[in-house]
A and B are shown apart, each in its own frame.
Chain A
Amino acid sequence: MSDAVLVVGAGPTGLAAAHGVASIGRRVVLVEKESVLGGAPILSRYAKLVPSGEWAKDAIGRMVKRVEDAKLVEIHKGTKVTKLDGERGNFTATLANGKTVQAGAVILGTGFTHFDAINKPEWGFGTYPDVVTTTQVEQMVGAGKIACPSDGRTPERVCILLCVGSRDRQIGREWCSKICCTVSTNLAMEIKELSPSTDVFIYYMDIRTFGLYEDKFYWKSQEEFRTKFVKARIAEVTVAPDGKRLLVKGEDTLVKRPIMIAFDLVVHAIGMDPNEENPEIAKVFGVGLEQHGFLERGEHYTSTFASTRPGVYVGGAALAPEDIDTCISHGLAMAMRAVGDLNALAPKAA
């Protein structure tokens, strides 16, 4: 029996899991396919995180450092697991770099993929340079300047379209991506902070700033930063008659009237897709996918964070759209599960 735990993915989930396992005295092998640790918040250069308001590079950076400094954690960057043989207590993982890893349990923190807004062509992403995604605005905020990519001007009017790649049967995304509402209301405030003369409009179907994000983000954005909330699902984004701005067309469902409003910058609040590598991940690790393409949960109540393969655990945004704080809790919970299960196996092996 191997007493090490293999953690796959070094985003918030994997980092929390790796540190969790190491902190209770087990060896960890952390495998990350990218050349840097930190996952989406670092790779996509997020600005300030919800809800802490801390810069991603600081907050996630601390998590990375904590794992890098942990003596019991062995890190493999820029490589993937290509094969997982064996069973609970005795796995052998083969890495793309040729190495093999022995582990008693496997934790999957393989995360998600940002929705590619080009799959909603009617909303203009990929066609017009001034249609951008929330990720791009995060990067603008990180750089300290909000500007239209076409000519660098400061936008007078910005609209954020919610549910881009979420809650849309048309493109097979029948889920709510959970965090985009909160992220968008937060971005609206950050835009206003960087450019007080800019008016920000949010086009929504519903606002789902769950739990304590209600007043801290939604209400604050509306009441203190004067973000305008318009209930409309946009039909299409084209060019305004002046040839410069973008024309947002749709129906204002509260006024029951068509709208054609010009904006300088249109932001897609992109949702969370299942990791695009999930089919491969499912094959390599021998775990199931649920109907939307995320990794499938096993029985949750007494076998929390189980996948469909004994000894392999799955959590964070690999399971479903998830926020960073919850991912971190999942990671720590999976560490507890993995080590607990290995301890239970130990007497049998002896």
Chain B
Amino acid sequence: MPIHEKTLIDPKQLLQTDNLVVDGVDVSGHWNTMVLPRTMTDYDPDFYKTIQALPGGDNVHRCWQCGSCTNSCTMYAINTDFNPRYWIYLTNLGFKSEIVKDKDIIWQCVSCNKCTNICPKDVRPEGVMKALAHWLEMEGHTPKSKSTVFDEEFTRQCLERGRIEDTEVMFNFFRQTGQSIGGMLRAGWLRVMIERMNKIHLLRRGELGKFLARLPMRQGLKMGWAMVFRPRTRSWGRTGEVLREYVEEQKRAAHAKIAARAH
């Protein structure tokens, strides 16, 4: 018999052979469909500690599954697969592989915080969504988000030189996120921005003098110079190295604190 509710079944659990004859009876196609059992055979009772160690996940263990978060959720109203209550449950029992299945949805949280406001146990589900998205990214299940790429570039420059060079941050950010600078210059928003900032309409109207007079020549030169020579803040020395060590230390301490509290 054909299975009518195939949408409810994980496609990986469905077995079907296109051409199959058993004892002279043709049972090709849906006549031989088999559904593999999806039995869960173990818990990972410590997984929640991993999520707790990430910003926002602190209270995940408090959840008692009332479903207020899901019912109040902005995203759930649009897509019923977006179910914070469910992911929190999976986190607490450590069903990691089930969480990974929803890796392309979890990040969609819009941080409206209706769940956080309604949660009777102060689980702060919005934070948990962030922590889960963070974990998925850390584990390589999802690509680095654009904001992570930006943060990393920004931090790198801060630590290396004690300052950032705006142009270089944007330049590297665009490059690392696969956004074509040339393309954006030719037809994208970058062109529009540069044109408006520099009042290109003056040039188009033939008012060359006016145009040149307010063109940020010095700023442009400075930007170009900084891009090439990459200056550091005066007497920066080993400060970056020390800072980097300090940040790592703080992270370790925060994780240890959460882990200790979890026991």
**Measuring CB to CB, which residues of chain A are less than 8 angstroms from any residue of chain B?**
196, 199, 201, 207, 218-219, 222-223, 226, 228-231, 252, 254-255, 257-262
Contact = CB atoms under 8 A, between A and B. Distances in A.
Given A228-B92, A255-B89, A255-B95, A260 B40 contact: yes
A258 B35 CA distance: 14
Contact of B64 (A199, A207, A258): A207
A228 B93 contact: yes
Nearest to B92: A228
A254 B41 contact: no
Contacts of B90: 255
B38 A257 contact: yes
B39 A223 contact: no
A223 B38 CA distance: 30
A252 B37 CA distance: 14
B35 to A, nearest CB: 12
B65 interface: yes
Interface string B110-138: 00000000000100000000000000000
Contacts of B263: 196
Given A226-B61, A231-B65, A257 B39 contact: yes
B99 to A, nearest CB: 11
A190 to B, nearest CB: 17
Interface string B81-102: 0000010011011010010000
Contacts of A231: 65
Contacts, number: 52
Given A258-B38, A260-B40, 6 more contacts: A201-B43, A222-B61, A228-B43, A255-B98, A261-B40, A261-B43
Contacts of B89: 254-255
30 contacts: A196-B263, A201-B43, A218-B64, A219-B121, A222-B61, A222-B64, A223-B61, A223-B62, A226-B61, A228-B43, A228-B92, A228-B93, A229-B64, A229-B65, A230-B93, A252-B40, A255-B89, A255-B90, A255-B95, A257-B38, A257-B39, A258-B37, A258-B38, A259-B39, A259-B40, A259-B41, A260-B39, A260-B41, A261-B41, A261-B42
Interface residues of B, number: 22
Contacts of B86: 254-255
Top 3 A-B residue pairs of the complex, sorted by shortest distance between their CB atoms: A258-B39, A199-B45, A259-B40
Nearest to B40: A259
A245 to B, nearest CB: 12
B262 interface: yes
Contacts of A207: 64
B43 A258 contact: no
A257 B42 CA distance: 12
Contacts of A196: 263
Contacts of B42: 261-262
Contacts of A201: 43
Nearest to A229: B64
B240 to A, nearest CB: 40
B119 to A, nearest CB: 13
A151 to B, nearest CB: 22
A223 B95 CA distance: 20
Contacts of A255: 40, 86, 89-90, 95, 98
B100 to A, nearest CB: 14
B93 A222 contact: no
A252 B64 CA distance: 14
A82 to B, nearest CB: 50
Nearest to A199: B45
A261 B64 CA distance: 21
A218 B120 CA distance: 14
A346 B206 CA distance: 120
B141 to A, nearest CB: 19
A144 to B, nearest CB: 21
A35 B122 CA distance: 51
Contacts of B95: 255
B59 to A, nearest CB: 9
A281 B95 CA distance: 52
B86 to A, nearest CB: 7
Contacts of B40: 252, 255, 257-261
B43 A222 contact: no
A196 B38 CA distance: 32
Contacts of A230: 93
